[in-house]
């Protein structure tokens, strides 16, 4: 096929292999691209392609990993489907089958299936024995010649990590593909069951002898998976992860905020006292700035999770958390997405890609928006300061405000797990599911460059994908709040008018139109609630200094029940445009996203009304 | 009644005898693809507390299986071939 606008014709080379065999790393080395790389099975979840470096006109296609051509999950079905299409695609001139040379047993059955099916369609196969550097390091050997003879194909020892064997591969690929030859009939007709036995025998005959790699892994596992030390190290690592999200990203977040304020101070005065100036200041710098400020947090979180994945620890964390999460219909692999969700739902939704069970991935998507993300923090701080007395008991050990903060955080997490628990039991037969069988990869030093590249890509993706939607919503809210009186009085604006319309909706929570408007605008992003209330009460910079706003709320005679109702409402409702956008994209289901958005709003509303009514009844 | 993979404790070694009928065919095949063949020797490396998934070594690869799978793999313990 000749690609439009190009002078050269393009042929395709397929790269296929079992999960965690190092495909993405080799793909990146051969193409110069930066697909996500991690020491965790199931990282490649989509087909990617790139032109081979030094071989113009040849495109390398990276397939998601699968353990065999007999798919048992939706992702594997996708990979197998792509492979079957590739076999009949005349543009495909070569198939590269990647095997993990350190663990031949798990790769060879799949390799034999690939060779058999390629024989049937006349596609030449090169077997790449990856991770050969690890065998070299430990003085272990793979009988390459013997294996090649047994497989009747070229076997090339290679290392995606060090680049060993890559030049040989490039020169092999530069040559014209092997001429068509008579297919090997005996292989073509071999059934899967026989191939399984053959793979087992080949692995024993030609694979590396000795178990030094396993012994190293076992020593570390006896610490990280031990009932006592495993638990302690797990909590220590998670504590560091939290610290990194909140502490390490704080200077960068401050820097983004300062840079935006500095730019706004210089740009806005140049525009004069016009609608354009107001739009630039309020919609562009304040609105978009509030979203850009989260980019460093996403970068840091992705980087730390990348380190954990590439070191091999992530699989151990999934194992430790599996049992308690299974009770709520989730899996141990849901843990990291849920944990990430306490910082920001967006990287959490991305992290859920590593969950191989489609059912459990969907359930994890359902729980993530209820994790108490950092955007809820300013809202909780404001409401708790306004409604919960700053008193302590037990000699200062127990503060009521701190207890309330802990309570509302716990409430959010509990609601998330409760919902997945109920849905998983109610919808038991709606999806095919996978049992928990997790390959524990060997521990290794993380590769910093690929992780950094991936973190930059993820931050870029967040800005380009979510940014468009946030910009649109911000502009709409700004227009509604600015016209028809040019920002003179929010109460008289279209937004204020809307607030009066929706006032009856929020009246059962004891809230007037001002809170209705603040809730309405907070559907763009939760923290907008504080800024909007500040604007309505005529307080500048309410999101930086909340004390005057707290005093206004206390003076407005809002009932305790309304404050608690607001807390509950914010703990449950899905009020984040970016989350909704990313959720729709990652789940590939607008219907699920819409159901979650509406469902969580209704649930939040009913719970908030109940809290208001019950509090009123109790307090009197 | 035969012991199962789930009944092993850390350090125990066993030989796989087969799978019970309750295990779906596709999972049985997947386990065999992982190397859990009939006659294969498996070592239980970790048996964490509170019913967490156990860790098994088969050939030179390490897997973690929970009780939903491991209770369906029938094994023989005692003197085994090396």
Spell out the domain ranges in chain A.
11-210
Contact between A124 and A94 (Cβ < 8 Å): yes
Say if the Cβ atoms of B49 and A105 lie within 8 Å.
no
- Tell me the pLDDT band of A330, cut-offs 50, 70 and 90: very high
Are A224 and A230 in contact, with CB atoms under 8 Å apart?
yes
Distance CA A49, CA A59 (A): 7
**What would the mean pLDDT of A486-504 be, rounded to a whole number?**
85
B7 CB within 8 Å of a chain A CB: no
List pLDDT tens digits, range A350-405.
Answer: 778 778 788 889 999 999 999 988 788 888 988 999 999 888 887 777 788 888 98
Is B20 an 8 Å CB contact of chain A? no
Give percent above pLDDT 70 in chain A: 89
Q: What is the ipTM of this complex?
A: 0.91
Nearest alpha-carbon partner for A233 in A163, A289, A304, A316: A316
* Contacting residues for A348 by C-beta, under 8 A, at least 6 apart: A337, A338, A339, A340, A341, A368, A371
| Mean local confidence (pLDDT), A191-209 | 85
* Beta-sheet pairing, A11-17 with A92-100: parallel
The residue of chain B nearest to residue A437, with distances taken between CA atoms, is B65
Question: Alpha-carbon distance A87 to A603, whole Å?
Answer: 50
Structure tokens at A228: 């006592």
Domain ranges of chain B: 5-76
Is the predicted pLDDT of residue A469 greater than 70, yes or no?
no
Using pLDDT thresholds of 50, 70 and 90, give the confidence band for residue A278.
confident
Is A38 a residue whose pLDDT tops 70? no
Nearest in space to A305 (alpha carbons), one of A396, A368, A242: A242
Q: Compute the mean pLDDT over every residue in chain A, rounded to the nearest whole number.
A: 84
What average pLDDT does range A15-31 have in this prediction? 87
Q: Cβ neighbours of residue B52 under 8 Å, at least 6 residues apart?
A: A319, A320, A322, A323
Q: The tokens of A172 are what?
A: 């092999």
The answer to whether the CB atoms of A440 and B58 lie below 8 A apart is no
What pLDDT, on a 0 to 100 scale, did the predictor assign at position A540? Answer: 59
Question: Would you list which residues of chain A are within 8 Å, Cβ to Cβ, of chain B?
Answer: 67-68, 70, 72, 102-106, 109-110, 192, 196-197, 200, 203, 207-208, 211, 213-214, 217-218, 221-222, 225-227, 230, 315, 319-320, 322-323, 326, 332, 435-440
Identify the CATH class of A11-210: alpha beta
pLDDT tens digits, one per residue of B37-52: 888 899 999 988 778 8
Nearest to A363 by CA among A416, A410, A302: A416
> What is the Cα–Cα distance from A500 to A373, expressed in whole angstroms?
30
Phi (first) and psi of residue A16, to 5 degrees: -135, 150
| Chain A touched by B81 (CB under 8 Å) | no
Say if the Cβ atoms of A196 and B66 lie within 8 Å. Answer: no
Chain B hits for A102, CB-CB cut-off 8 Å, are 60
Tell me the three state secondary structure of residue A156. strand
Count other C-beta atoms under 10 Å from residue A174's C-beta: 11
CA distance A525 to A517: 13
Residue showing tokens 């030609």? A206
Please state the pTM of the whole predicted model.
0.75
**pLDDT score recorded for residue A7:** 47
A579, A346 contact by CB (below 8 A): yes
**Residue A277 confidence (pLDDT) above 80:** yes
Question: Nearest 5 degrees, angle CA A306-CA A307-CA A309?
Answer: 65
Q: What is the mean pLDDT of the segment spanning A406-423?
A: 93
pLDDT value, residue A544: 58
Top residue of B28, B64, B67, B73 to mutate, by most chain A CBs within 10 Å, is B64
* Per-residue pLDDT tens over the stretch A78-91: 778 888 999 999 99
3-state secondary structure of A399: strand
What distance in Å separates residue A316's CA from the closest CA in chain B?
9
- Beta carbon pairs, A and B, within 8 Å: 114
Domain covering B5-76, topology: SH3 type barrels. (2.30.30)
Percent of chain A exceeding pLDDT 90 equals 27
If one compares A566 and A265, the residue with the highest pLDDT of the two is A566
Q: Report residue A4's pLDDT band, with 50, 70 and 90 as the boundaries.
A: very low
Which residue, chain included where needed, has tokens 């004069």?
Answer: A272
**What CA–CA distance (Å, rounded) separates A496 from A50?**
52
* Residue appearing with tokens 């701190």: A402
Give chain A positions within 8 Å (CB) of B51.
Answer: 323
For residue A288, give the DSSP letter. Answer: I
Among candidate residues A149, A162, A151, the one with its CA nearest the CA of residue A114: A151
Q: What are phi and psi of B78, to 5 degrees?
A: 100, -155
A474 vs B59 pLDDT, higher one = B59
**Whether residue A484 has a cis bond before it, omega within 30° of 0:** yes
pLDDT at position A5, please?
Answer: 42
For the ranges A367-381, A453-467, A606-620, the maximum mean pLDDT occurs at: A606-620
Query: What pLDDT sits at residue A470?
Result: 67
Nearest to B69 among A106, A437, A439 (CB): A437
Element of type H or E holding B29: helix B25-33
Helix residue ranges per DSSP H, A68-142: 74-87, 104-121, 132-137
Strands A392-393 and A398-399: antiparallel
> What's the rounded Cα separation, in Å, for the pair A285 and A291?
10
A363 vs A136: CA distance, rounded Å: 43
């Amino acid at each position: 096929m000749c690609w439009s606008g190009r002078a050269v014709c393009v042929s395709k080379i397929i790269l296929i292999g079992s999960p965690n065999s190092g495909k993405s790393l080799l793909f990146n080395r051969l193409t110069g691209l930066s697909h996500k790389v991690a020491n965790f099975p199931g990282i490649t979840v989509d087909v990617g392609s790139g032109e081979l470096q030094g071989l113009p006109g040849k495109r390398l296609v990276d397939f998601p990993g699968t353990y065999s051509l007999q798919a048992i999950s939706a992702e594997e079905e996708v990979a197998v489907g792509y492979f079957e299409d590739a076999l009949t695609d005349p543009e495909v001139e070569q198939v590269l089958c990647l095997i993990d040379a350190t663990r031949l047993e798990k790769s060879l059955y799949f390799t034999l299936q690939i060779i058999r099916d390629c024989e049937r369609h006349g596609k030449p196969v090169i077997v790449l024995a990856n991770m050969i550097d690890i065998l070299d390091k430990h003085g272990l050997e793979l009988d390459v010649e013997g294996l090649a003879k047994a497989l009747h194909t070229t076997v090339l020892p290679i290392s995606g990590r060090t680049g060993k064997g890559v030049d040989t591969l490039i020169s092999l690929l530069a040559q014209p593909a092997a001429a068509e030859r008579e297919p090997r009939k005996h292989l073509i007709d071999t059934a899967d069951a026989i191939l399984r036995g053959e793979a087992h025998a080949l692995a024993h005959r030609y694979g590396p002898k000795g178990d030094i790699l396993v012994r190293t892994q076992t020593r570390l596992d006896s610490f990280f998976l031990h009932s006592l030390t495993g638990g302690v190290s797990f909590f220590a690592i998670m504590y560091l992860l939290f610290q990194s999200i909140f502490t390490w990203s704080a200077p960068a977040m401050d820097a983004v905020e300062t840079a935006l304020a500095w730019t706004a101070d210089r740009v806005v005065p140049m525009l004069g006292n016009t609608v354009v100036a107001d739009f630039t200041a309020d919609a562009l710098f304040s609105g978009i700035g509030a979203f850009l400020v989260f980019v460093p947090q996403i970068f840091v979180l992705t980087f730390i999770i990348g380190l954990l994945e590439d070191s091999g620890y992530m699989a151990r964390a999934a194992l430790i958390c599996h049992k308690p999460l299974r009770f709520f219909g989730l899996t141990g692999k849901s843990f990291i997405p849920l944990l990430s969700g306490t910082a920001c739902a967006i990287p959490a939704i991305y992290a859920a890609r590593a969950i191989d069970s489609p059912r459990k991935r969907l359930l994890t998507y359902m729980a993530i928006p209820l994790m108490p993300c950092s955007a809820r923090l300013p809202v909780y701080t404001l409401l708790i300061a306004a409604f919960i007395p700053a008193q302590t008991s037990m000699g200062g050990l127990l503060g009521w405000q701190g207890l309330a903060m802990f309570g509302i955080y716990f409430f959010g997490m509990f609601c998330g797990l409760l919902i997945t628990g109920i849905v998983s039991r109610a919808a038991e037969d709606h999806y095919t599911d996978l049992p928990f069988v997790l390959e524990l990869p060997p521990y290794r030093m993380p590769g910093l460059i690929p992780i950094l590249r991936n973190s930059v890509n993820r931050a870029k993706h967040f800005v380009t994908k979510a940014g468009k939607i946030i910009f649109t919503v911000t502009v709409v809210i700004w227009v509604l709040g600015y016209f028809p009186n040019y920002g003179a009085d929010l109460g008289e604006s279209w937004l204020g008018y809307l607030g009066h319309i929706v006032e009856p909706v929020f009246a059962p929570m004891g809230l007037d139109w001002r809170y209705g408007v603040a809730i309405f605008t907070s559907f763009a992003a939760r923290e907008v609630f504080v800024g909007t209330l500040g604007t309505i009460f005529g307080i500048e910079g309410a999101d930086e200094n909340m004390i005057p706003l707290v005093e206004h709320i206390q003076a407005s005679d809002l009932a305790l029940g309304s404050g608690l109702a607001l807390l509950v409402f914010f703990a449950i409702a899905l009020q984040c445009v970016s989350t909704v956008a990313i959720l729709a994209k990652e789940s590939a289901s607008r219907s699920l996203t819409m159901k979650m958005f509406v469902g969580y709003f209704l649930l939040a509303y009913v719970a908030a009304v109940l809290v208001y009514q019950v509090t009123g009844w109790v307090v009197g | 009644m035969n012991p199962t993979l789930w009944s092993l404790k850390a350090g125990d070694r066993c030989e796989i005898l087969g799978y019970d009928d309750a295990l779906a065919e596709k999972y049985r095949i997947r386990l065999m693809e992982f190397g859990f063949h009939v006659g294969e020797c498996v070592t239980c490396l970790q048996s964490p507390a509170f019913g967490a998934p156990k860790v098994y070594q088969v050939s030179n690869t390490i897997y973690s299986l929970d009780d939903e799978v491991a209770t369906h793999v029938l094994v023989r313990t005692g003197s085994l071939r090396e």
